Amino acid sequence: MKNNDNQRFIYFIGIGGIGISALARLYHAKGWRVAGSDTTPSELIAALRKEGIQVTIGHKKENIKPNFDLVIYNRAIHQDNPEILAAKKLRIKTLTYAEIMGKLTEEYATIAITGSHGKSTTTALAALALMKGKCDPTVLIGTTLKEFGGKNIRIGGSDYLVIEADDFGAAFTAYSPTVAIVTNIDKEHLDFYKNFNNVKVAFLKFLSRVKPGGLMILNRENAVLWSLHDRIATTAKKNEVTVAWYAATGAAAKKIKEVISLPGAHNISNATAIYELGRFLEIPEKDVLSAIHGYRGAYRRMELRGKFKGAPVFDDYAHHPTEIAATLQAFREKFPKKKILCVFQPHQVQRTALLFKEFQTAFNGADETLILPIYHVVGRDTVIPNRDSAALVRAIQKKQPRKPIFYLADPKKLREAVLALDGTPLSNKVIIMMGAGDIVKMTDKLIR
């Protein structure tokens, strides 16, 4: 140990991220001294400070001290970052988020949940099922849960670790799970993967890392995943891993439909995966079904935030065309007699451009749609001509001239825009604030 008090010291660059903050909390609970930095203040950073974690705003070489044992950095941090350079100069061990997560999965009996969509909900359901079954898991999730006291982590006392396995940057290919759950494979994160084949290759590599004697739980109804059936079977046989294909039909799904509180066919599918997990871990069926029944959703997943002029206002994280369509369908099931107004903030220029065609039909489930300017992701975005929000609205209007879809160039005028739509009383509407950027701040202003 380098520290005089024999307490190991770990430092996180980009500690305000949802994934890396959970790691910081985990190591703090393990008894490490924990500190970190980020570029801007946030509610999450304020919470970390209250928990006794030191957080500095701004990346400076002076933040890195010779007595640090380990420096962790997230995927958004470049190698020329002054804190990374300082750590290397001091010969302090540095690891990426993916690398340290990989080491954790080797230490625990890890249940890793991934997919292009549905990771957070499925991870939450897995965690609650294990908790109901008295498995006492440690859980790291990419959102916050009421069941975790509004945090993104639960500290357990067993060898079980439940994690949301990150497919961006192929981070999950560094993990070694005992159980791997894949909800689906879709055209996501193409700015990193470059083409869809590379996405499939990454998922196959992730599955190849399941430990011998482990289990793959895979969605049979996802055409892309099912198309890899033979390659998956070959890998499973070679590595002595069992494969369980699930579907939102059959006896298990029927039982889930009778108890699930979350709307939407996609959530029935997610819950069916957890039913299979419960069977593998020998958790009593009644406990699994009770966990599924009791779950009411996570932060920004169909989350009711308040009302605007009598209309319930929901927040949702959906930002990919497939997610948007599934979420709107779920709201249609939940509110069959109300008009659905979707306020959408596209996330990242590249995603908008690469999935431009898919976005043009994503909002078919909404009665009215307002599209805001694209949220630009620092370090990942460049301007692409004719692929902005205004161009997307024009393309949809050309295909569907009668569809009430509009571009709102100034989000500050959101209230006025909502009030200026058709004459239907707002009490007969549902407003969905949707996107992965900072639209949550607009939600706050709308319901204020």
The answer on 132 and 87 residing in a single domain is: no
Look at residues 58, 76, 96 and tell me which one is the last residue of a structural domain: 96
Which residues, including other chains, have CB under 8 Å from residue 68's CB and lie 6 or more apart? 2, 9, 10, 11, 87, 90, 92
Do 289 and 312 sit in the same domain of this protein?
Answer: no
Look at residue 159 and tell me if it is in a domain.
yes
Give the pLDDT band (50/70/90) at residue 331. very high
Do 168 and 271 belong together in one domain?
yes
Across 142-151, 233-242, 296-305, 405-414, least confident range: 296-305
Total of domains in the chain: 3
What local confidence, expressed as pLDDT, does residue 186 receive? 96
> In this structure, are 168 and 78 located in the same domain?
no
Q: Classify residue 35: in a domain, yes or no.
A: yes
* Predicted TM-score of the model (pTM): 0.89
In a domain, 224, yes or no: yes
Q: Which two tokens stand for residue 152?
A: 């993104």
For the cut 60, the answer to whether the pLDDT of residue 2 exceeds it is no
Tokens for 390? 């205004």
Confidence tier at 4 by pLDDT (50, 70, 90): very low
**Per residue in 220-264, pLDDT tens?**
999 999 999 999 999 999 999 999 999 999 899 999 999 999 999
Among the candidates 294, 324, 351, a domain finishes at: 294
Same domain for 118 and 59, yes or no, is no
For residue 153, tell me if it sits in a domain.
Answer: yes
- 250 and 371 in a common domain: no
Instruction: Give the pLDDT mean for 61-86.
Output: 95
> Are residues 33 and 71 located together in one domain of the fold?
yes
How many Cβ atoms from other residues are within 10 Å of residue 357's Cβ? 9
Whether residue 419 is contained in a domain is answered as: yes
Statement to judge: residues 197 and 278 lie in one domain: yes
Q: Domain with 308 in it: what CATH number? A: 3.90.190.20
Domain end, chosen from 49, 67, 96, is at 96
| Structural domain range at position 26 | 9-96
User: Above 80 in pLDDT, residue 407?
Assistant: yes
Whether the per-residue pLDDT at 354 is higher than 50: the answer is yes
pLDDT of res. 299:
82
CATH, residue 223: 3.40.1190.10
Quickly state the pLDDT bin for 5 (edges 50, 70, 90).
Answer: low
Residue 396 lies in a domain: yes
Task: Please indicate, yes or no, whether residues 143 and 161 belong to a single structural domain of this protein.
Answer: yes
Average confidence (pLDDT) over 308-313? 96
Domain assignment present for 233: yes
Question: What's the CATH code of the domain at 19?
Answer: 3.40.50.720
- pLDDT one-digit tens code per residue, 76-104: 899 999 999 999 999 999 999 999 999 99
What pLDDT is recorded for position 383? 79
114, 229: one domain: yes
Q: Which pLDDT score is estimated for 3? A: 41
Same domain, 231 and 359: no
pLDDT of 378 above 80:
no
Residues 143 and 166 in one domain: yes
pLDDT above 60 for 286: yes
Whole-number pLDDT of residue 79 = 93
Report yes or no on 101 lying in a domain: no
Percent pLDDT > 70 in the chain is 98
Sheet with 93-96, strands from edge to edge, namely 54-57, 33-38, 9-13, 70-73, 93-96
